[in-house]
Chains A and B, each alone.
Chain A
């Protein structure tokens, strides 16, 4: 089993993701420079948070053209796991690997605090250690996390169980106050139809140690590890 963490110019959560996979999940992990085009050594790639290409044009818009993204598309089409966090989620939407787009926060401010998110689908490679309705405390840190999509896309997301996380209050209720960025229907994270590509705005890699205020993020990384073990056993 091997995890990869993609590094773009301007990524800044790459070391956090690497640390969590190596220390808390206990699995081999390597950095992947964005000019790389061969991902055959990996079972899962993490597209980390940060400000790739300085967020020029739109957050994630220019990263789509990095050589590694062609390889990521192929990797995803083979059913391997792609996990985009924050800027990684923006890149996945810009690349067309996930539907919709992430716009400027409704309140215009950069929001940096712990939020509560509710598990909406526990039947994905990223949530198999969790249960529907469970509330996780995970930090967000973004200015462009306001998820938008058209009505048809939204209906498809709902019908296919592609909405994986929603912002909620500490009791799991979906309220406007608990939505940090104005995202449609409190959406915090979605997956593709095949469920092997997931993007989320909150940072689970920053919530894996008690001393950081929460270790709720670990279950997401553990879920992904389970999914890789399961996929390996099937081959």
Chain B
């Protein structure tokens, strides 16, 4: 079993790196780009013996306590078989 964790900046937090990436993309000649925001993606491999509920609880805890800083970031957990 695998957990995918997405960590993104809260909408209220400015993302200077995302802005710089957007600027570069526009220099490529791409048009109609309204916004780009940068985030982080984690793949967590879990023991195959645990249930989906246990996997989800473990991944939630890892995301909340380690991977995301709740002051500036949100996270989303996805369990993949």
Contacts and interface: CB of A to CB of B under 8 A. Distances in A.
Contacts, number: 33
Nearest to A99: B71
Contacts of B17: 104, 108
Contacts of A101: 69, 71-72
A100 B69 contact: no
Interface in A93-116: 93-94, 99-101, 103-108
Contacts of A148: 13, 71-72
Contacts of B16: 104-108, 146, 182
A94 B72 contact: no
Interface size class of B (residues with CB under 8 A): 10 to 19
Contacts of A150: 12, 71
Contacts of A106: 14, 16
B67 interface: yes
B18 to A, nearest CB: 10
B66 to A, nearest CB: 7
A100 B67 contact: no
Contacts of B58: none
Interface string B38-61: 000000000000000000000000
A61 B69 CA distance: 8
Interface residues of A, number: 20
Contact of A57 (B12, B20, B67, B71): B67
Q: Which of B13, B14, B69 has the most CB of A within 10 A?
A: B69
Interface string A188-227: 0000000000000000000000000000000000000000
B69 A108 contact: no
A103 B20 contact: no
A149 interface: yes
Contacts of A103: 13, 72
A34 interface: no
Contact of B69 (A94, A105, A146, A182): A94
Q: Which of A58, A99, A107 has the most CB of B within 10 A?
A: A58
A149 B14 contact: no
Contacts of B66: 57, 61, 65
Interface string B57-81: 0000000001101011000000000
Contacts of A108: 16-17, 20
Interface in A47-88: 57-58, 61, 65
Contact of A58 (B12, B13, B20, B69): B69
A101 B9 CA distance: 12
Contacts of B72: 101, 103, 148
A94 B67 CA distance: 11
A105 B12 CA distance: 16
B12 to A, nearest CB: 8
A106 B72 CA distance: 15
5 contacts: A101-B69, A101-B72, A106-B14, A108-B20, A148-B13
